[in-house]
Amino acid sequence: MSKTEQVINYLNQLKEVLLKEKTILIENDGAKLPEIIQEKEDIMVTLSAFSEENVEMEKLSVLSREIKSLQETNLMLTEQSMRYTETMLEHIKKAAKQNNTYSKKGTFDQTKKSTLLDQSL
């Protein structure tokens, strides 16, 4: 197997891992991310061992563009998830600061308790 074929093989593996990562990010299944990240790192380490010598770079261009596009999509999905999490945390903090709730008698009451998860009825 030529060096070019080996590199193409590893790039195809990387593409498959990126597709799995995209699915995981869309499904918001963060528990699987560390495994995927490790797979990506392992492939990248292997690819970095290849030199451009004896590799036909023009054969890699289409595949490398696909990989770049997938990586950009995954980055965008990650950033979107982080923004969503930050927004939700801000709303939770704001709600926790208000401390307005109803008393056990059904009247409006300003208490010192958090309104987020108060189960003391």
pLDDT (0 to 100) of residue 43: 95
The average pLDDT across 25-50 equals 93
CA distance linking residue 15 with residue 62, whole number of Å: 12
pTM: 0.74
pLDDT band at 78 (very low <50, low <70, confident <90, very high): very high
pLDDT at 107 over 60: yes
Where does residue 7 rank: exposed (0-12), middle (13-18), buried (19+ CB within 10 A)? Answer: buried
Read off the pLDDT band of 92 (50, 70, 90).
confident
Asked if the model's pLDDT at residue 99 lies above 70, the reply is no
Distance CA 116, CA 74 (A): 32
First vs last Cα of the chain: how many Å apart?
Answer: 71
- The predicted-structure confidence for 16-35, as pLDDT tens digits, reads as follows 999 999 999 999 898 999 99
- Exposed (0-12), middle (13-18) or buried (19+): which is 14, by Cβ within 10 Å? buried
Residue 77 has pLDDT above 70, yes or no: yes
